[in-house]
Amino acid sequence: MLPRFFVRFLEWMLIGLLGVMVVLVFGNVVLRYGFNSGITFSEEVSRFTFMWLTLLGALLAMHEHAHLGMSSVITALPVWGRRVFRFTSDLLMLGCCGLLVHGTWKQVVIAMDDHAPVSGLPMGVVFSALLVSSAGISWILLHSLWRQLTGRMPAEALVIEPAGSVE
């Protein structure tokens, strides 16, 4: 799992990013319709902010087991079947995240020399949102796999139930 201070940092980061995005978009709308002007970089920066907001939100959702899932088949299996499916699922997701980390790292390095046309931000900074998200999700999956391999994951934790699920 992610350290508590990092989760709190992510939560505050999401709040800040959403605030920046709202101010930029709303401010631009008011300026365009009310004063026939606008914030030049508003659309570009709000798009980049939305990308970071979405990917950091996905990381936080993974930590809190808030992603959509279908556990009806898994709950019908015996414990050994749940263990096999959970391990296989985590391993496959880790493989996908590993590919994302590898590919995104290459893209970030290449894109650091490329700058956004209006704001001038290095595109590598923008693309690194996927790097942070996939590396964080990989960490969560590695922790889950380690718990499974060492026998520290109880049988009731094999089926991931979202924190706010209603039965």
**Residue 125's Cα: distance from chain center in Å?**
16
pLDDT exceeds 90 at position 9 = yes
CB 64 within 8 A of CB 14: no
29-68 confidence digits (pLDDT tens): 998 888 888 888 889 999 999 999 999 999 999 999 888 7
What pTM does this model have? 0.87
8-state DSSP, 60 = H
14-39 confidence digits (pLDDT tens): 999 999 999 999 999 998 888 888 88
Query: At residue 159, what are phi and psi to the nearest 5 degrees?
Result: -95, 120
8-state DSSP, 95 = H
CA 79 to each of CA 70, 87, 95, 119, 159: distance values in angstroms, whole numbers, following the listed order: 17, 12, 24, 54, 10
**Residue 139's Cα: distance from chain center in Å?**
12
Record the tokens describing residue 102, joined without a space: 């590898």
108-130 confidence digits (pLDDT tens): 999 999 999 999 999 999 999 99
